Structure 1
Amino acid sequence: MKLISWNVNGLRAVLKKDFLATFNQLEADWFCLQETKMQAGQVELDLPGYYQYFNYAEKKGYSGTAIFTKHEPLQVTYGINQPEHDHEGRVITLEYPNFYVITCYTPNSQGELKRLPYRLTWEAAFKDYVNQLATQKAVILCGDLNVAHEAIDLKNDRTNHHSAGFSDEERQAFSTLLASGFTDSFRHFYPDQADSYSWWSYRFHARDNNAGWRIDYFITSNNLQSRLIDAKIHNDIFGSDHCPIELDTQDLFA
């Protein structure tokens, strides 16, 4: 089975850049989006064979997530059941008989880490939410988690030590999440692979020079490790400042 995650940096924008061709080419069982930047009714997508779920931010043109899937879920949850965190459209959870699929767009700590206090409050609440689900069924979490976990996960680690996405606090929060029973699928398969990134700044020809960050992830419950087949980063696909990432698994319904 195939899962795709992509921060599209505006669904309406990427639709003008061959999104549908990419969508059809990848032919995923679950296609998860972050930063859709839209409201209900602004886009009508014809995706035969797929169920469509959107979570919109209250603020127009901001944040937002979506999941397109071939597999109708038992239940769909929007947000993490905490009102202070659920007005930016950042999380969708699909429940299946023996697992959950979650797409997440983690808040950015912003310049000079001015939103770091909120980010850390979010991290604690989101970890509790995911861990609560994991007590019931296996979890597959994907999305733009807005953190480069280790120095290998970005090009210029020394100059970005205190930048949003590579602060000690954000990295520790990610470590804490993994330690609670989860696997970074890409590092599971490629523990030492450097220069593999999923986001590049639009400035300074960063993508041309592959001066990027790996901040998009598939995180899975540890008990799914034996069912994982591969993890990929599609850095040859354009249309956003992020590229799609992929997780391949055995049949999750078996």
Structure 2
Amino acid sequence: MKLISWNVNGIRACINKGFIDIVDALDADVFCLQETKAQPEQIEISKELYPYQYAYSAVRKGYSGTMILSRKEPLSVSYGLQIEEHDQEGRVITAEFENFYLVTVYTPNSGDGLKRLDYRMEWDKAFSSYIQSLDKPVVICGDLNVANEEIDIKNPKTNRRNAGFTDEERDSFKANLLPYLKDTFRTLYPDKVQYSWWSYRFNARKNNAGWRIDYWLVSPELMEKVEDSKILTDIYGSDHCPIELDITL
């Protein structure tokens, strides 16, 4: 299977930047999106491309949101963590297939001044508990809003207390997800420097001053089935680039 994940930073804006042509060219079995910033009725993607489409929007319009586009119909689809406090922002969709669950997630950002850091810590624990509750191996993708190690960020020293690279967020990632899941890209490429997000400011993408905050994580028993995990840095349309997982399932 070829799986693609992409934080599109506004699906409507991304469609105006060639999104449909990119989706068509990438030719994935499943396409997972984060930060759609739209209600389901505002998203127009041909059912000929992907007949099965599942969108989960935030209560607050124009904010957050996730989506799954699939060529194969899942056995079931669920939305959120089943915890009201955490299910107001459209951040998690779970699609059940025969041998695994596919989860797309847009992890909350701790925000300017780390004003949501405490909430982010609560979210991480709740998401971890949810993943552990699933009764099949899992494949998780999305913008997890954390650069795990210094290799995953261009300027680690100057970003030490910025959202996405605080000790608290990195420790939480290690404590709540990595005991149960494999980071496919870093497992395959322990020393490779490649980023998936660049600020729109300071010519960051042109200068490759980026962060690796988008991930494909899999249950340990699925790691041997992973053929490749790629960061598609040559594809534009958002401040993130798509990431790809090739896996035999």
Q: Helix, strand or coil: the match of 1:122?
A: helix
Deviation of 1:123 (Å):
0.4
Q: Does 2:172 correspond to 1:173?
A: yes
Deviation of 1:69 (Å):
0.6
Q: Is the 8 A contact 1:63 1:90 kept in 2?
A: yes
Deviation of 1:110 (Å):
0.5
The 1-side partners of 2:132 and 2:48 are apart by: 34
The 2-side partners of 1:192 and 1:145 are apart by: 20
Q: Does 2:100 correspond to 1:122?
A: no
5+ residue gaps in structure 2?
none
Q: Is the 8 A contact 1:10 1:36 kept in 2?
A: yes
Deviation of 1:180 (Å):
2.5
Deviation of 1:49 (Å):
5.1
Q: Helix, strand or coil: the match of 1:67?
A: strand
The 2-side partners of 1:105 and 1:40 are apart by: 17
Deviation of 1:5 (Å):
0.3
Deviation of 1:176 (Å):
1.4
The 2-side partners of 1:153 and 1:89 are apart by: 27
Q: Does 2:38 correspond to 1:28?
A: no
Q: Does 2:238 correspond to 1:204?
A: no
Q: Helix, strand or coil: the match of 1:17?
A: coil
5+ residue gaps in structure 1?
none
Cα deviation, 1:136-162, whole Å, max 9, x if unaligned, reads 111000000000000000000000011
Q: Helix, strand or coil: the match of 2:40?
A: coil
Q: Is the 8 A contact 2:196 2:210 kept in 1?
A: yes
Deviation of 1:100 (Å):
0.1
Q: Which residue of structure 1 aligns with residue 38 of structure 2? A: 38
Q: Is the 8 A contact 2:152 2:212 kept in 1?
A: yes
Q: Which residue of structure 1 aligns with residue 107 of structure 2? A: 106
Q: Is the 8 A contact 2:20 2:45 kept in 1?
A: no
Q: Which residue of structure 1 aligns with residue 66 of structure 2? A: 65
One-letter amino acid of the counterpart of residue 113, structure 1: L
Task: Map 1:135-214 onto structure 2 (within 5 A).
Answer: 136-194=135-193, 196-214=194-212
Q: Which residue of structure 2 aligns with residue 218 of structure 1? A: 216
Q: Is the 8 A contact 1:131 1:180 kept in 2?
A: no
Over the aligned positions, Cα root-mean-square deviation in angstroms equals 0.8
One-letter amino acid of the counterpart of residue 219, structure 1: L
Deviation of 1:114 (Å):
0.8
The 2-side partners of 1:47 and 1:205 are apart by: 37
Q: Is the 8 A contact 2:5 2:141 kept in 1?
A: yes
TM-score, normalised relative to structure 2? 0.98
Q: Is the 8 A contact 2:128 2:177 kept in 1?
A: no
The 1-side partners of 2:97 and 2:73 are apart by: 8
TM-score, normalised relative to structure 1? 0.96
Q: Which residue of structure 2 aligns with residue 2 of structure 1? A: 2
Q: Is the 8 A contact 1:178 1:184 kept in 2?
A: no
Q: Is the 8 A contact 1:108 1:165 kept in 2?
A: yes
One-letter amino acid of the counterpart of residue 44, structure 1: E
The 2-side partners of 1:45 and 1:183 are apart by: 32
Deviation of 1:181 (Å):
1.9
The 2-side partners of 1:31 and 1:179 are apart by: 24
One-letter amino acid of the counterpart of residue 162, structure 1: R
Deviation of 1:47 (Å):
3.4
Q: Does 2:15 correspond to 1:15?
A: yes
Deviation of 1:217 (Å):
0.2
One-letter amino acid of the counterpart of residue 109, structure 1: S
